[in-house]
Amino acid sequence: MQYLPNILFAVVLIAGISFFAMNIRKIFRNINLGKDIDRTSNRPERWKNMIKIALGQSKMVRRPFSGFLHVIVYVGFVIINIEVLEIIIDGLFGTHRIFQGFIGDAFYAFLIGTFEILAALVFVAVILFWTRRNISNIKRFLSSEMKGWPKMDGNIILYFEMVLMTLFLVMNATDTPFQEAGIGNPISQFIAPLFDGFTTESVHAIERTAWWIHIVGILVFLNYLFYSKHLHILLAFPNTFFANLKPKGQFNNLESVTSEVKLMMDPDADPYAVPAEGAEEEVPEKFGASDVADLNWVQLLNAYTCTECGRCTSACPASLTGKKLSPRKIMMDTRDRLEEVGRNMDLNGGTFEDDGKQLLNDYISPEELWACTSCNACVEECPVNIDPLSIIMDMRRYLVMEESAAPQELNAMMTNVENNGAPWQYNQQDRLNWANEE
């Protein structure tokens, strides 16, 4: 019976970490459904971006108020969870504040005191975030894609953080030897008097209860990330590392189009050649993208990394002028479809069975795609370097080259280019007539 709490803690810890690892494997499997793309060039610049943007939050603070609050929550939550290592060791071996003996009272007091101050700041910041989301009527939190689960998800995370910070301070406030030592308790010393009327056994029971709920809560929070937009806590780092380093506005050439052009220009090529007996007939590569498997793996990583903050949509000129497009919705829809494909594979032994649906039309409409001005405002605004425009352009390419479903104005322009060598509807011989006008 003496070691029962330690055994129980080990079981809970292993279960929590195992479930998290299983879900992370699913995420990587889903991301790897995307086409291969090389994003390993210029590593120094990539490391610089990751350190500056993901770790340093440089793009978050462009909006000072929300950016400052986010930095508090980010720094506070990360640093406070350093204490989780001590909790794990204490839980496995039955020790109590084991680091205090190793690093000495002075440094331990500094660490725990810093943790307590940060916990209080995080609590206040989270209250302000909750107010902004639910009371302040900020336009980017009121869009149609933020109704239902997305709104609830944002609030659940805020509640999680409030409860975890409260438990941490209560745990310290009811740790009688810690309070009697009077070191590292700048916040909890003011909470401790609330328990003065309790018996020693009751205070100890509250401390143990807070300790257990705190560590179990952290494990639940860790596994909740898989179902939440807050997966960006983990994925922001690889996402900024693998982000596109090319100048904004520089579009890539489709290899499928290049191959087709080379085939057309090769005098020896036979487009109607029959495959040799026993050889599998190659399926022509699709032009553009109509479903998540047509996108590359970085675009799918982008979808999982989206924070749903709405900065992209709030800067989008199409959205600002009342068009249907919301870059945030593009990313959310891509992630939702990718999750749907993943669940399909789970149910079919790891193989995707055609469900009659795709990203185009079932999730994202042509109206949204053609509303985009390709200005890159969404890419510039994203605090973690997500690129909604690349997905929009790949889906547009599919509409034009696979379905001939471009808007009438664009079809007219392309016809003029084909016939006249210019977007305008007049003869090539008349193109320079403007220069002769007096």
CATH number of the domain within which 395 lies:
1.10.1060
Does a structural domain hold residue 103?
yes
Q: Are residues 176 and 259 in the same domain?
A: no
- pLDDT exceeds cutoff 90 at 311: yes
Cα 164-168-170 angle, rounded to 5 deg: 115
Does residue 317 lie within any of the structural domains? yes
208-243 residue pLDDT tens: 999 999 999 999 999 999 999 999 999 999 999 999
CATH of the domain at 73: 1.20.950
pLDDT for 186 equals 94
Counted domains in the chain: 2
Together in a domain, 124 and 204: yes
Q: Which residue has the higher pLDDT, 92 or 79?
A: 92
Report the chain's mean pLDDT, rounded to a whole number. 90
pLDDT of residue 254: 79
Q: What's the predicted TM-score (pTM) here? A: 0.90
Instruction: Return the minimum-mean-pLDDT range out of 7-16, 163-172, 418-427.
Output: 418-427
Residue 56 domain flag? no
In a domain, 397, yes or no: yes
| Tokens linked to 212 | 């257990």
Band (278; pLDDT cuts 50, 70, 90): low
Domain boundary among 207, 241, 275: 241
Residues 194 and 297 in one domain: no
- Could you tell me the pLDDT band of residue 329, with boundaries at 50, 70 and 90? very high
Are 307 and 327 a contacting pair, CB within 8 Å? no
Residue 67: inside a domain: yes
Examine the domain organization and report whether 269 and 133 are in the same domain: no
Quote the pLDDT of residue 256.
Answer: 76
Do residues 248 and 376 touch, judged by C-beta distance below 8 A?
yes
- In this model, does residue 286 exceed pLDDT 90? no
Question: Where among 201, 216, 241 does a domain terminate?
Answer: 241
Distance CA 90, CA 269 (A): 71
Tell me the C-alpha distance between 330 and 332, whole Å.
6
344 part of a folded domain: yes
Residue 125 and residue 171 in one domain: yes
In a domain, 168, yes or no: yes
**Boundary residue ending a domain (241, 266, 283):** 241
Query: pLDDT value at position 200?
Result: 93
In a domain, 13, yes or no: yes
Looking at residues 369-378, what average pLDDT do you find? 95
Shared domain check, 272 and 155:
no
Task: Report whether 132 contacts 141 (CB < 8 A).
Answer: yes
pLDDT digits (tens, 9 = 90+) for 176-198: 999 998 888 999 999 999 999 89
pLDDT of residue 275: 63
In 254-281, which positions are buried (b, 16+ CB within 10 angstroms) versus exposed (e)? beeeeebeeeeeeeeeeeeeeeeeeeee
- Range of the structural domain that residue 301 is part of: 255-427
Let me know whether 289 and 211 are in one domain. Answer: no
- pLDDT of amino acid 268: 74
Flag whether pLDDT at 308 surpasses 80: yes
263 and 225 in a common domain: no
In this structure, what are the phi and psi dihedrals at residue 364, rounded to the nearest 5 degrees? -115, 130
Say how far apart CA 122 and CA 165 lie, in whole Å: 7
Looking at the structure, tell me whether residues 369 and 311 fall in a common domain: yes
Could you give the CA distance from residue 136 to residue 131 in angstroms, rounded to a whole number? Answer: 6
The tens digit of pLDDT for each residue in 12-48 reads 999 999 999 999 999 999 999 999 999 999 999 999 9
**More reliable by pLDDT, 181 or 396:** 396
Report how far residue 62's alpha carbon sits from residue 294's, in angstroms, rounded to the nearest whole number.
34
